[in-house]
Amino acid sequence: MITDTSRSPYAKAAAIPFKDVEWTGGLYRERFDTVAAVTVPHLQRMFEEKDVSHVVENFRIAAGEAEGDFDGTVFGDGDFYKWFEAAVYTAVKTGNETLLARLEDYIALFSRAQRPDGYLSTKQIIGEKRGRGAMRQGDINDFEVYNMGHMFTSACLYFRLTGKDSFLNVAEKAARYLKALYEEAARTGEVKTAVCPSHYMGLIELFRTTGKKEYLDLARLSVRLRDSVKNGLDDNQDRLPLKRHRKIIGHAVRANYLYAGLADLYLEEGDIDYRTVLESVWHHLVTRKLYITGGCGALYNGASPYGDFFHHQLVHQAYGYEYQLPNVTAYNETCASLGGVFWAWRMFLTEPRAEYMDVLERMMLNVNMAGISLDGKKFFYENMLRRAKTLDYELLWGRERTEYITSYCCPPNLARTLAQTAEYAYAADADGVWTGLYGASSARFSLKNGAAFTLTQETDYPFDGRLSFTVSESNGLPFSLRLRVPAWAENGSVTVNGKSRPLTAGTYVSLEAGPDFTCVLNLPMSPRLTAGHSMIEEDRNQAAVEAGPLVYCIESADAPPDTELSDLLLPANAAFRPEKLTVAGRTVNAYETTLLCRDRAPNALYYPLRGEALRPVRARLIPYYAWDNRGMGEMMIWLPLAWREV
């Protein structure tokens, strides 16, 4: 399992072992199969290619087995560890012995590159070998500790899935180096920011995997040392002492990683002050700064909303002001929403509430799945909510997915998360099961109350709202089955033994289950129109279309020819007809509808407003995750509302 809270004293639920749960069909299974067959080998080639990423070559140079200088990104080591997670997970699940053998080769390479004191960061090791270049802890933006954090997490997963400790030995050696470094910083007071703090999650997972308390102590120390950083920044969330945090600010990946790690620490130690921080910052995110897709971090670059004329602070890839959620320039780095998944999952384990899983599902099904092409080979770094035909300015990243991005952190992060989606299907406590992500699946449970059984879920979710649950192979002991009723699922119902009862949206319903138990959960999946808060200026008098947990969009390919999407209006009484559509060889659920088309607006900054003739046109909406798979064109999620009938 990717997080093991089965012995965490403040966890109210825990994941079940990876071998006991799998997708049996549907969207999640298709995405897993694509990641295993296409994405993992594709990324491996990118990392192996000297003229593309230079990542594996850096390890070889650091190990003294190749000549040359460091090249590529400073966080390439960590990116490779993330790919390693995706590789081992898919290899074990699919029985790919060739890939598993190759992973052992990589681990041996890591070991040969590692310094005797446990240090492992290729840029600095190569610099030391050459007598020039980067120094250890010389620049916080060299991501040394970030790289180690992903190593820790990957090594723990490798041990849990294979039983081999080869990678764990490398990771523990690196953790001991980090321990000496942090203890020295605590003595001297010379503390630097560790940007993108993946090591909080990594160290606590090392503790859970090995049982060695020194790693929990080190995680606690590393969190505490944040408050000793001099001249901290909103961008790094270290301007204020951690226990005073109440708002989500700064670099979105760094923020989400920070609070995911803090949630891990709470799960082990139960510091109520940290719990207050987590709940406050989470609430601020989901009520002020979260995109409808689950995207996190609206700004490419800007000024901290909590700076002023006298305390100006630049931020990047960041959360902006409250309700500052632009569409064309939405940044929404894929890694940020992946960090949001890690954070939401840990919040759910502290307190199994439907809200946390609803947000996790929104992120997973919309912005995260949109980060990768349907064929599994191309990626978005940022995730816009609108693509215009032309722009009068250039954005930092391309407006189409690409096979290789200079900053390659997102593709392997996405690969490992999509490979591991079954980990989020269920959680368990002493006497029951909590449903998480819904999808066709089979899971085996052995609860602390003695109940043992298999739970089968049959459904075409997220396209269909009928979910059937069947208990089999039971040892006869009863248990509680807790079904999530998403906040959007008004008028949902559950049928048990032929008797149906209504459900309350945004909650869990608990059912007493046992041998031969069956039930059917019915969630309404009809398309609905969603409006944004009046302070989201770019979305005022506009609406988005959602169906179940999916956000829908319109692309040029599904609008009348020679129509600009900005000419289209969405009638408030629009009707939607479902249809199956093939996109890049995959079948998606689309909706046909009638929109209203207005006359083309003049190409002027301002122009006289005159009465417009509106004519009905047929158009189609597709799930946002499936966009940008049919060539370059416009795309919009939010459509202007027309308050007239069609």
Q: What is the pLDDT of residues 58-110, one digit of tens each?
A: 999 999 999 999 999 999 999 999 999 999 999 999 999 999 999 999 999 99
Q: How far is CA 614 from CA 567, 569, 571, 593, 646, in A?
A: 10, 9, 11, 16, 10
Confidence at residue 620, expressed as pLDDT on a 0 to 100 scale: 98
Which position has the token pair 């966080």? Answer: 75
What residue type is assigned to position 169 of the chain?
Answer: N
Confidence at residue 311, expressed as pLDDT on a 0 to 100 scale: 64
Using 50, 70 and 90 to split pLDDT, how confident is the model at 181? very high
CA angle centred on 201, ends 197 and 202, rounded to 5° = 95
**Lowest mean pLDDT segment, chosen from 132-141, 241-250, 385-394, 508-517:** 132-141
DSSP 487: T
User: Are 513 and 531 within 8 A, CB to CB?
Assistant: no
User: Are 110 and 120 within 8 A, CB to CB?
Assistant: yes
User: Are 357 and 569 within 8 A, CB to CB?
Assistant: no
Bridge partners (DSSP) listed for residue 582:
587
Residue 646 has pLDDT above 70, yes or no: no
Give the residue among 429, 602, 583, 584 at the shortest CA–CA distance from 508: 429
Q: How far is CA 507 from CA 353, 481, 488, 490, in A?
A: 7, 13, 11, 11
Q: In the predicted model, what is the mean pLDDT of residues 309-327?
A: 85
Q: What is the pLDDT of residues 331-352, one digit of tens each?
A: 999 999 999 999 999 999 999 9
Confidence at residue 548, expressed as pLDDT on a 0 to 100 scale: 98
Element counts in the chain: helices (H) and strands (E): 16, 25
Handedness of CA 176, 177, 178, 179 (dihedral sign): positive
Give the residue among 512, 513, 510, 511 at the shortest CA–CA distance from 475: 513
Residue 396 has pLDDT above 80, yes or no: no
Q: In the predicted model, what is the mean pLDDT of residues 4-9?
A: 97
H/E stretch holding 442 reads strand 441-446
Phi and psi at residue 4, to the nearest 5°:
-115, 90
Confidence at residue 308, expressed as pLDDT on a 0 to 100 scale: 64
CA 576/CA 548 separation, integer angstroms: 14
Q: In the predicted model, what is the mean pLDDT of residues 394-419?
A: 89
What residue type is assigned to position 264 of the chain?
Answer: D
Give the residue among 510, 457, 507, 504 at the shortest CA–CA distance from 482: 510
CA 404/CA 394 separation, integer angstroms: 19
H/E stretch holding 281 reads helix 272-284
Q: Do domains 14-424 and 427-522 have the same CATH topology?
A: no
Considering the domain 427-522, what is its CATH architecture?
Sandwich (2.60)
Q: How many residues does the chain have?
A: 646
Bridge partners (DSSP) listed for residue 506:
none
CA 525/CA 222 separation, integer angstroms: 45
Q: What is the pLDDT of residues 185-208, one digit of tens each?
A: 999 988 888 888 999 999 999 999
CA angle centred on 612, ends 608 and 616, rounded to 5° = 150
CATH of domain 14-424: 1.50.10.20
- Per-domain residue ranges of the chain: 14-424, 427-522, 528-642
Which tokens belong to 307? 């700076």
Which tokens belong to 296? 């996190």
Q: Which of 380-384, 399-403, 640-644 has the highest mean pLDDT?
A: 380-384
Phi and psi at residue 316, to the nearest 5°:
-145, 150
Using 50, 70 and 90 to split pLDDT, how confident is the model at 309? low
315: helix, coil or strand? strand
431: helix, coil or strand? coil
User: Are 439 and 461 within 8 A, CB to CB?
Assistant: yes
CB within 8 Å of 591: residues ≥ 6 apart: 527, 545, 547, 552, 576, 577, 578, 579, 620, 621
CB within 8 Å of 265: residues ≥ 6 apart: 200, 204, 219, 220, 223, 271, 274
CB within 8 Å of 275: residues ≥ 6 apart: 266, 350
Which position has the token pair 């971090």? Answer: 297
What ranges in 70-198 are assigned the alpha helix state H?
Answer: 76-94, 97-113, 122-130, 144-162, 166-188
Residue 133 has pLDDT above 80, yes or no: no
Strand 550-555 relative to strand 542-547, pairing: antiparallel
Q: CA 96: distance to chain centroid?
A: 26
Confidence at residue 267, expressed as pLDDT on a 0 to 100 scale: 98
CA 218/CA 402 separation, integer angstroms: 39
Arithmetic mean of pLDDT over the chain:
94
Residue 221 has pLDDT above 70, yes or no: yes
Q: What is the pLDDT of residues 541-591, one digit of tens each?
A: 999 999 999 999 999 999 999 899 999 999 999 999 999 999 999 999 999
CB within 8 Å of 604: residues ≥ 6 apart: none
Higher pLDDT, 361 or 301: 361
Confidence at residue 593, expressed as pLDDT on a 0 to 100 scale: 98
DSSP 330: -
Q: Which of 7-21, 120-134, 607-621 has the highest mean pLDDT?
A: 7-21
Phi and psi at residue 399, to the nearest 5°:
-90, 5
Confidence at residue 234, expressed as pLDDT on a 0 to 100 scale: 87
CB within 8 Å of 480: residues ≥ 6 apart: 431, 432, 433, 510, 511, 512, 513
